Every structure is written in C-alpha cells, then in structure tokens.
A = this chain, B = another copy of it.
Amino acid sequence: MIELRGSRPNAGRLSRRDELLSIAADLFAEHGFARVTVDDIGNAAGVSGPALYHHFDSKESLLGEMLVRISESLLSKAITIVDEVSLAKALDPMIAMHVDFAVDNRSLITVHFRDLVHARKADQRRVKDLQSAYVDIWVDSVVADHSEVLDAREVRAAVHAVFGLINSTPFSGRLRRDALVSLLRTMAVAAITAV
C-alpha cells in the first residue's frame, strides 16, 4: 500500500482545514449533513475518517464553522458597501454582491438554509444574529431610499423574499454565468422596487 503523503507539502493553497471545509460543503449540499458520515468526508479528502478530529472538535462544529463563515462573509461585505456609498445607494451594489455570492457558492447556499438545524444551538444563535444584522442593513437601505414611510415589518418580509429569489441558484440549472447573474439582478431589482 503506497502512500503519497508528504509528497504534497500543500498541494493547493488552502490549508487542510479550509480544504476539509470546502469538501464537506459539497458533500453536505449533495446529501445533507445527516446523511454524510465522518468517513465520507475523510475519504473525499483522501484521508480516513477520524483524521477530521485533528482539525475540528466534532462534525457539528465543522458545520457550525462553515455556516458562521458564510454569514460573517455576507455581513462584512454588506458593511463594506454601506461604508463606501450612502445607505440610500447601497441596495443595487448589495444585490449585485449577493447575486455573485449565490451564483458562485451554490453548495454553501444549500447547506446554509437546509442544515442550520443540525448545528449546535450556540452556532445557530450566532448565525441567526449575523443574518439578522445583515437583513437590517438591507431594510435600512430600502427605507433610506424611499421618501414615504414604509412598514418595517413589510420591508423585512420583502427583503427575505428577495433573498429567496436570489438564493434559488441551486435550482437554476446550467445557464451561462453572466446570463444568470444578469437575470437575477434584474428580477431582484424589479421585485424590491415593486414594494
């Protein structure tokens, strides 16, 4: 049994940890967290099962880290945008940003709102808080862009609807990337503008 361990000082540029996270994301997206075993993840990474525990406390904490990262990433991007342009002008670039993310990270999108229930309570809490902050920025941006008074709860529901629209990428089939991006942007703008 010839092993080529060590012949790969860091094959890609991702740390082992990130590599596992990425591999696990694809597996979770395809089969669901509960249906993927620790051995599955190991095998897909070219190592065997329990090796995972040298990088993560548990299967659940791996999931937790994955989900928290996504939420943090989206939130930080939204904050950056709002820092660069005024709140009232932030909506379009945020739509563009979110569409890019959804198109380029279909697996993460799927896992994110399918397997959150499988994460630890504390991680769920953290993810929900981050999401909530993210939604707040969108809501504030929509409100800031309108002169008339809007019902905040209605805007919130509308923002969630737009997320639903954009996050449909896992079902979008094999459309050319730029065609999909342009389609989703157009639809998202039209939908939120109709409120």
- Chain A positions within 8 Å of B, measured between CB atoms, are 31-35, 113-115, 117-118, 151, 153-154, 156-158, 160-168, 171-175, 179-180, 183-184, 186-195
Contact = CB atoms under 8 A, between A and B. Distances in A.
Copies of this protein in the complex: 2
B183 A161 contact: yes
B187 A173 contact: no
B191 A187 contact: yes
A153 B173 contact: yes
Contacts of A190: 190-191, 193-194
A114 B192 CA distance: 26
B166 A180 contact: no
A157 B99 CA distance: 14
Contacts of A167: 164
B191 A172 contact: no
Contact of A168 (B164, B179, B194): B164
